[in-house]
Chain A
Amino acid sequence: MESKEQRDLAYENKDDYEKLTKDRLSPFYKRDYRDVFLLALAMGVSKNMSRPLKKRIPNIPLRGFTEEEKWFLKSIAISKTGNMEILSDSKEIFKIAEEYANGGIKLLVREVFENISNYDEVLEEELREKVKNK
């Protein structure tokens, strides 16, 4: 069986997460770091930007993730490596996720704060485009 060590997911720098969750106008205001992580991760994946962490600050507990979100992390790893074997190596799965999130976080911060008054509309547009292009 796959080992489910209760690890925390890590980021490199707390500042970006703080900025996004503490700014009143930010859509992430008062939300979990987990939400930021997932979106940063998705952005990193969609723009294929992965960056190794210079420093690991584990602060996002895995137990906060839903089943869907956990499988989401796994599928990113499976998709990257091309096969299912990666499932036996949770450490590697997390590493892949953390590096994509690390790659996408700066982009996310920039996009949010450049469109601070209507980021929800900007994001929605982006997603609609994505769905249409299937």
Chain B
Amino acid sequence: MKIKYVELENYRQYKKEKINFSIDENKNFTIILGRNGFGKSNILNAVTWCLYGTEDHLKTTEEVNKRFPIVNIEVLENLKNGEQTFVKVSVNLVGEGEEYLVTRSLRVGKHSSGDNFIDETSNLEVMYREGKNWYTPYYNNPTVSINAILPKEIRQFFFFDGEKLRQHFEKDVNKKIKDAINKISQTDLIDKAIDRLDYLRDKIRKEIKSENHRTQEIQENMTRYKELIEGAQRKLKEELEPQYEETTDNLDKINQKLRKCNVELVEQLQAHREDLTGTQKDLEDKRRSMKEKLIDYLIQRAPFILAKESVDKTNEIIKQLIKKKLYPPPIDFDYLQKLLYEDKECICGTDISKGEHRDTVKKLLDIAKYSKYPSKEASFVLSRINANCSEFIDKMSEQRKDLIETDKKSQDTAKKLEEINYKLGEININEIKILESERRKFESARDDLTKDKAKYEIELKRYQTELERLNKEYDRELSKEIKYRNILLRKEVCDKSIESLQQIKKLLMNKIRLNIRKDTKDCFFKLITEKRETYKDVLIDENYNIEILHKSGFNALDTLSAGETQIFVLSFAAALRNASGFNAPLIIDTPLGKIDEEYRNDVSKILPKFLENVQVVLLVTSSEYTPQVRKNLSSRFTKDYEFKLEFNKNLEESKVIPYGK
């Protein structure tokens, strides 16, 4: 889907403006140059306002907003008493054989008293074109239409502010990524199907009016567990999780204050403390994975060692056969069989269909049966088992030793942390004392909440497992009565479908996560040409933690420069777009803003290659849009789609004019 034009009426700095975007396959870029304040970012805001009812990228603060409402102030001022008009933004979208016109309008005006008013809610309309006529979709839910084109939840990867993208990326990134991937993999579709199947399943179950005492008992139990589950879910969602977020937020704020408190000693200690906390976390992660590996190894080797006698005995048996020269056997079994039952004649010509010779050959057959047992393979594998067993003790001791070492490092770190906490507690500056005590309070609150959350999550799982068991028992009881067979069959379809759908959901999200990881890695490594050697890998684990593996082994995500982070986030956004399959336009405000000059050239050279087949609109400032950058992008746009903004202070109006003028 591409945006053919955006039409603005009375929207912020724009009184009446129609901006055309390039929808060409090859010259897919549109450039709009403007100073901040001229309405550059508001072009992006207009698009998001039109599609989603929100202006995501307002540069002005709350207070300034009061002076600059969404309606063009001059237009509003010039209205007569009792007169009204509309703020309107239209976006014309074209795709393969489809065309849509999305229009959002907001009524504004002046009361007869002379007071201005702006309506609370705006009106959204979506029309699609067939032939020469425009139609409204039959179920007339415009939000749904738009979500099918580009879902609201992933818009930040298509319409974004280059400068703000990094910040947006830093907070709650796991949840954001998970939500984005959810949306992209259309698991909401699967979720919906699961919801409806669940609803249907309950409905079907209610058809059964069983008088059986046992089933009624189970029913009661199931209801009880359902309530327990709801209770636990509510507790987690409405209480514990928000509290946890709030507490971590507060903790972050305090850490920040301490870091910038202007008392040198405190700043140093705080920095050291944050460092050590990071180290501590890494050590804990390391320990966990070491323990896992140890248990892996243990469980893998244990059976062979425990039942070693069997393996040894088998080895003995084979050795004996080898001694008796029966193994490997001197003659092939199949050959002898053929001889006896088909040819009935030896190669030397002797008849072996009966008699003494036949008996001899039959005896040989008895010996030759061992040729069916692959001997080489047997001794090889069995000796390997033995070898692995003998190195078991050494390997285990080594792993235990490493584990103890890591524990010791962890203890040392904990001790150092305690020392720092003590030192900071001793500082006799009132402000610091307050901050420190607040910090301690929040830290312990956070730890408590973590424990509580874990407790409830475990309980929740237990309840769910129990409910599942009860469900199965209930079905078992019911299936004993023939009259319910049919109902149960229908229910079974629901059950199996729900199970399959849940499986699919997991598999799908995993596949997509891995695709995104790969694409992010490829893009990022291609873009950071200079530092390519420094980074080894990009990982996104099952909990959506992102890791940029430095060649020395640690996670470099937090140590990237602003420019590198920008590039990384751009790569990630590109990967998400690829994975989403949504071919929506990309509108970037200040794309190269935070990027250092050395990267700016490289990025402006390479980015176009990554953005083939995508409509791209760049809203740039003159400091970004250097002659070199302009040259690098020039292959992707024509003069017809290179614009600049002109702002008329007297009329409080911006206009879009060709760049060359």
Footprint of B on A, CB under 8 Å? 1-2, 22, 24, 27-28, 31, 35, 38-39, 41-43, 45-46, 67-69, 71-72, 74-76, 78-80, 82-85, 87-88, 120, 123-124, 126-128, 130-131, 134
Q: Chain B 380-399, CB within 8 Å of chain A: the 1/0 string? A: 01101100111011001000
Residues of chain A with a CB closer than 8 A to B377's CB: 67, 71
Q: Chain B 400-441, CB within 8 Å of chain A: the 1/0 string? A: 000000000000000000000000000000000000000000
Q: How far is the CA of A76 from the CA of B304 in the complex (A)?
A: 10
Residues of chain B with a CB closer than 8 A to A126's CB: 306
Q: Would A2 and B304 count as touching, CB distance under 8 A?
A: no
Q: Is B369 an interface residue (CB 8 A)?
A: yes
Q: How far is the CA of A72 from the CA of B310 in the complex (A)?
A: 8
Q: Would B302 and A84 count as touching, CB distance under 8 A?
A: no
Q: Is B265 an interface residue (CB 8 A)?
A: no
Q: How far is the CB of A48 from chain B (nearest CB, A)?
A: 10
Q: Would A127 and B306 count as touching, CB distance under 8 A?
A: yes
Among the 9-residue stretches B87-95, B291-299, B442-450, B570-578, the one with 4 or more Cβ atoms under 8 Å from chain A is B291-299
Within 8 A of A (CB), among B285-313: 291, 294-295, 298-311, 313
Within 8 Å by CB of B373, from A2, A39, A123, lies A2
Known: A120-B294, A131-B389. A76 touches B307 (CB 8 A): yes
Known: A84-B321, A84-B373, A87-B373. A131 touches B307 (CB 8 A): no
Question: Which residue from chain A places its CB closest to the CB of B334 in the assembled complex?
Answer: A1
Q: How far is the CB of B471 from chain A (nearest CB, A)?
A: 15
Q: Would A71 and B385 count as touching, CB distance under 8 A?
A: yes
Q: Would B393 and A131 count as touching, CB distance under 8 A?
A: yes
Q: Is B631 an interface residue (CB 8 A)?
A: no
Within 8 Å by CB of A123, from B302, B304, B384, B393, lies B302
Within 8 Å by CB of B305, from A75, A88, A130, lies A130
Main secondary structure of the interface of B (DSSP, over half): helix
Within 8 Å by CB of A68, from B374, B385, B393, lies B385
Q: Would B374 and A75 count as touching, CB distance under 8 A?
A: no
Q: Would A2 and B378 count as touching, CB distance under 8 A?
A: no
Q: Would B304 and A72 count as touching, CB distance under 8 A?
A: yes
Residues of chain A with a CB closer than 8 A to B314's CB: 74-75, 78-79
Q: Would A83 and B317 count as touching, CB distance under 8 A?
A: yes
Residues of chain A with a CB closer than 8 A to B504's CB: none
Residues of chain B with a CB closer than 8 A to A35's CB: 299-300
Interface centre among A74, A82, A127, A134 (most CB of B within 10 A): A127
Interface centre among B305, B377, B385 (most CB of A within 10 A): B305
Size class of B's contact patch? 35 or more
Known: A42-B306, A79-B310, A120-B294. A22 touches B465 (CB 8 A): yes
Q: How far is the CB of A66 from chain B (nearest CB, A)?
A: 9
Q: How far is the CA of A133 from the CA of B384 in the complex (A)?
A: 20
Interface centre among B306, B373, B377, B381 (most CB of A within 10 A): B306
Within 8 Å by CB of B301, from A71, A127, A134, lies A127
Known: A27-B299, A31-B299, A120-B298. A45 touches B306 (CB 8 A): yes
Q: Give me 20 other A-B pairs in contact (C-beta within 8 A), A38-B303, A42-B302 excluded.
A: A2-B374, A39-B302, A41-B303, A42-B305, A42-B306, A45-B310, A46-B309, A74-B314, A76-B310, A79-B314, A79-B317, A84-B317, A84-B318, A84-B327, A88-B369, A123-B302, A124-B298, A126-B306, A127-B392, A130-B306
Q: How far is the CA of A22 from the CA of B373 in the complex (A)?
A: 39
Q: Would A68 and B381 count as touching, CB distance under 8 A?
A: yes
Q: How far is the CA of A114 from the CA of B305 in the complex (A)?
A: 22
Q: Would B299 and A39 count as touching, CB distance under 8 A?
A: yes
Q: Would B303 and A79 count as touching, CB distance under 8 A?
A: no
Within 8 A of A (CB), among B331-389: 369-370, 372-374, 377-378, 381-382, 384-385, 388-389
Q: How far is the CA of A128 from the CA of B389 in the complex (A)?
A: 10
Residues of chain A with a CB closer than 8 A to B301's CB: 127
Q: Would A2 and B307 count as touching, CB distance under 8 A?
A: no
Question: Which residue from chain B places its CB closest to the CB of A70 in the assembled complex?
Answer: B381
Interface centre among B295, B370, B396 (most CB of A within 10 A): B295
